[in-house]
Chain A
Amino acid sequence: EDKVVQSPLSLVVHEGDTVTLNCSYEVTNFRSLLWYKQEKKAPTFLFMLTSSGIEKKSGRLSSILDKKELFSILNITATQTGDSAVYLCAVTPSGTYKYIFGTGTRLKVLA
């Protein structure tokens, strides 16, 4: 059964800290991995990683994909209170239309 596991489940840090969020997966025929940030409402897209794009960076956020070890990490440097959210990881197996989500990591950044 295809599965996505995120860790930790929750995390509390102080402004300025660096955090690393983990996403491991077991899927048949991996195609892509996506990261989303969810504040109060809709998840919003952060990154997509595929075989041809295993590293992405945008400002203080970066992500890498290790296809051999079947995991991805999302790094946030110099955290701000606005980074407080649930971070979701999703994986899409090839040959399907499905996006399989992990349960998310709840990040709280204290001022």
Chain B
Amino acid sequence: NAGVTQTPKFQVLKTGQSMTLQCAQDMNHNSMYWYRQDPGMGLRLIYYSASEGTTDKGEVPNGYNVSRLNKREFSLRLESAAPSQTSVYFCASSEDGSSGNTIYFGEGSWLTVV
């Protein structure tokens, strides 16, 4: 049972570089999410995709873009990385986010921007 799979697990970027975090789920879930987790800040929603073909901004979208490639995959792109984007990023999915049911997380991607 793979669940939610994220890549890469660790990445170091220089300021101004770009990169894409990949996420895939094999649970046939409709809704997918990207969160970032910083010390003392909890999990903050960056973007989400309610269903295939839709994406919406969350609490902290600036500096990020997303693509819901298909039902399984939801990628997060940093176009020009900044030190403030150093964080742990979690992808998550739920069967139907509009029902408020269980959300499942990937194992996280540790990103450092120097």
Would A103 and B100 count as touching, CB distance under 8 A?
no
Residues of A within 8 A of B105 (CB): 42-44
* Interchain CA distance A81-B102 in the complex, whole Å: 26
A-B contact count (CB 8 A): 60
B104 at the interface (CB under 8 A from A): yes
14 additional A-B residue pairs with CB within 8 Å, beyond A31-B100, A44-B105, A96-B97: A32-B101, A42-B90, A42-B107, A42-B108, A43-B105, A90-B103, A95-B98, A96-B98, A97-B56, A99-B45, A99-B92, A101-B42, A101-B43, A103-B41
Q: Does B81 contact A (CB under 8 A)?
A: no
Pairwise interchain contact B40-A98, C-beta atoms closer than 8 A: no
Q: How many angstroms between the C-alpha atoms of A101 and B50 in the bound complex?
A: 18
CB distance A41 to B100 under 8 Å? no
Minimum distance in angstroms from B41 CB to a CB of chain A: 7
- Give complex CA distance A95, B103 in Å: 16
B100–A92 contact, CB under 8 A? yes
The interface of chain A, by Cβ under 8 A from chain B, is 31-32, 34, 41-45, 48, 50, 88, 90, 92, 94-104
CB distance from B53 to the nearest CB of A (A): 14
Binary contact readout B42-63 vs A (1 if CB under 8 angstroms, 0 otherwise):
1111001010000010100000
Residue of A nearest to B9 (CB): A41
Size of chain B's interface in residues, with CB distance under 8 A?
28
Q: Is the CB of A104 within 8 A of B42?
A: yes
> Are the C-beta atoms of A34 and B102 separated by less than 8 Å?
yes
A50 to B102, CA, bound (A): 12
**A34 contacts B103, CB within 8 Å?**
yes
In the complex, which residue of chain A has the Cβ closest to the Cβ of B97?
A97
Looking at B42, B92, B94, B108, the one whose CB has the most chain A CB atoms below 10 A away is B42
Query: Does B33 belong to the interface (CB within 8 Å)?
Result: yes
Task: Note all chain A residues with C-beta closer than 8 A to B43.
Answer: 43, 88, 90, 101
Cα A25 to Cα B53 in complex, Å, equals 31
